[in-house]
Amino acid sequence: MTNETPLAAAARLSHRPLLTTLGAKIQPAHTALLVIDMQNDFCADGGMVARGGRDVASAHAVAEALPLLIATARDAGVLIIFVRNAYSTTGNIYLSDAWLEQAGRKQGGGYTLYPCCEPGSWGAEFAGAIRPEATDPVVTKHRYSAFHNTDLETILRAKAIRTLVLTGVTTDVCVGSTARDGFMRDYYVVVSSDGTAAYSREDHDATLRNIDRFFGEITTIETLATHWAPNCEG
């Protein structure tokens, strides 16, 4: 019987030093804060999701909470990447038959009766006070994961990013899909429990438990802000 701990064995097997604490993982020099899908169609009254009959209160609360975290991360030198969807278009160049069939059965009119994140529309705009600055990368996607057929990984590799801090909506769909894909690409994944939201608490909590078990670490906005505050040594 060995006395070696699992984490010690992991360190022995790794080809480079492990990042074993939250502070080490989210050092600004190798961390990107991803702000995922914080768009009116997903977060605002009158957006596609609300028109389909779902409660967007938790998404709206995240839209109010994130600007301060974004500002703190920016001041600390964290790379901030805004991720947005573009789904509905004139002539429908993005939505497949499989996507539309699923939407027709389960999305309450979203993507079909009501357009979703149509470029140039109010629904596609970032919600509330969330706005990228001129030098912030903005990644546009057409499916749930921020990695799927986008330039996200090119940006991350060019900046030597090791850790992804995920915020936005929804925890169980686009955030969760991005967390899985990020981990599969060998990034450390950190998800803010109160910087993300789903349209039911059950779905939100279940996804966070799954991510914590298999794909990354769960933390809070306050903890992130504390680590990124001036004079914090991690």
CB 49 within 8 Å of CB 41 = yes
Asked if 159 is an active-site residue, the reply is: no
Beta-strand ranges (E) seen in the chain are 31-36, 79-85, 138-141, 163-169, 188-197, 217-219
Helix axes 221-228, 57-76, angle to 10 degrees: 10
Task: Find the catalytic residue in 37, 41, 172, 181.
Answer: 37
- Compute the chain's Rg from CA coordinates: 18
Q: How far is residue 129 CA from its own chain's centroid? A: 17
Task: Find the catalytic residue in 43, 116, 117, 174.
Answer: 174
Task: Find the catalytic residue in 25, 116, 117, 141.
Answer: 141
- Residue 172, phi then psi, degrees to nearest 5: -85, -10
Q: Which uninterrupted H or E stretch holds 98?
A: helix 97-106
Pick from 84, 92, 46: nearest CA to 178:
84
Question: Helix, strand or coil for residue 101?
Answer: helix
Instruction: Round to whole Å and give the CA distance between 50 and 62.
Output: 15
* CB atoms closer than 10 angstroms to residue 213: 8
Asked if 25 is an active-site residue, the reply is: no
Q: What is the DSSP pairing of strand 217-219 with strand 188-197?
A: parallel
Asked if 106 is an active-site residue, the reply is: no
Q: Six-digit token pair at 131?
A: 């706005």
Q: Which residues are catalytic?
A: 37, 141, 174
